[in-house]
Structure 1
Amino acid sequence: MFGIPRLTFWFTVIGLLPFYLATIAWYNDFVSDAIFSLYGPPTRLFGTYAIAIFGLLGGGYWAAVSMSESTRKTHYLMAIWPVLWIFFFFTFRGGLRPIIIPTGFALLLINDWYFVKQNLFPPWWLRNRIFVTVAILACYLVPIFDYQIQTLLERIGGLN
């Protein structure tokens, strides 16, 4: 699977399920009602799971730096910024919030590239993270574009 260990690949696919469910719920009332009864609106599932993933990745970066016994400040800064990003920006209450999380996921690729180049992660790690990031960004694009289309239609009088 693209040079990614088989178990890692399949756990990655399973780990994407909440993003897929939130995306499907955007257009499927049955799935939306099921998610709403457990988590609230699908946007909450998007946000809550994003927090979990950022925390997981931040912990992985921190563990890699700690295990390497690195004394480079850059390593530690690269390890903690994902958690700070999600903490500070997820609490942001403005209209940019739906863009902040996917932007953070895209920026995590810089971290992944850095950690692979520093030999803190194996070479296949970046291929796995590119796969994951593309999948996550595709899921986030559905509500972003849907909102933009609805807003445009409301402005031109297409929705009543």
Structure 2
Amino acid sequence: MNGVPKSALYLGLAGLIPFIWGALTYLNSDLHDLGTRELGSRFVGPYIQLFYGSVILSFMSGVLWGFATKTSGSKATVSYTLSVLPALWAFFMTGGGPISAGTNLMIGFAGLLVLDALFWYWGLAPRWWMRLRILLTAIVLLCLAVGVYL
């Protein structure tokens, strides 16, 4: 994580907690029962991952929107348009059951990584951006895969 500001790294890693917790409570019935008892059923297994994943895709749309402010003209139009896609994806594609919603979130996060790379390539994101985003996205996809494939 050379060059990634410590605050961005630590906050990014902290943002993984709901995904990791969801995967752990999916895999371990004792943790699931503890989480349900102490936090409520919405905060365990795929439920926390799906809700939080939708929130994070929407948040990342805002981040991309911020990057788009560095452009002008037709590139600005393209950048602003691309920046809203993760939020729209989360809104339209995370309904239904946990398997289809989880699969669609995985597609959404993979698509977000492509947009991250594009904004980075255009020089709109910080130089360290992709190092952080690849790590975070890989962990998110792994955690979501637990609920989708196991």
- Identify the structure with bigger relative contact order (alpha carbons < 8 Å, sequence gap 6+): 2
- Taking the TM superposition and a 5 Å limit, the aligned residue runs for 1:1-160 are 1-36=1-36, 37-40=39-42, 41-66=44-69, 68-71=70-73, 72=75, 73-92=77-96, 96-146=100-150
Distance of 1:111 and 1:142 partners within structure 2 = 24
Which segments of structure 1 move beyond 4 Å, counting only runs of 4 or more?
92-95
- Report the Cα offset of residue 69 of structure 1: 4.8
1:21-44 deviation per Cα after TM superposition (whole angstroms, max 9, x unaligned): 001001222321233343425211
Q: Give the aligned partner of residue 152 of structure 1.
A: none
CA–CA separation in structure 2 for the residues paired with 1:55 and 1:144? 21
User: What letter corresponds to residue 75 of structure 1 in structure 2?
Assistant: S
TM-score of the aligned structures, taking structure 2 as reference length: 0.87
Please give the root-mean-square deviation of Cα atoms over the aligned residues, in Å: 1.8
* Structure 2: gaps (5+ residues): none
- Residues matched between the structures, number: 145
Larger Cα Rg: Structure 1 or Structure 2? Answer: 1
State the identity as a percent: 26
Paired amino acid for 1:27? L
Offset at residue 52 of structure 1 (A)? 1.4
Partner Cα separation in structure 1 for residue 32 and residue 98 of structure 2: 24
SS of residue paired to 2:88: helix
Provide the TM-score with structure 1 as the length reference: 0.82
Q: CA, structure 1 residues 109+92, in 2 after alignment: closer, same or farther (shift >3 Å)?
A: same
| Counterparts in 2 of 1:94 and 1:122: CA distance versus 1, 3 Å | closer
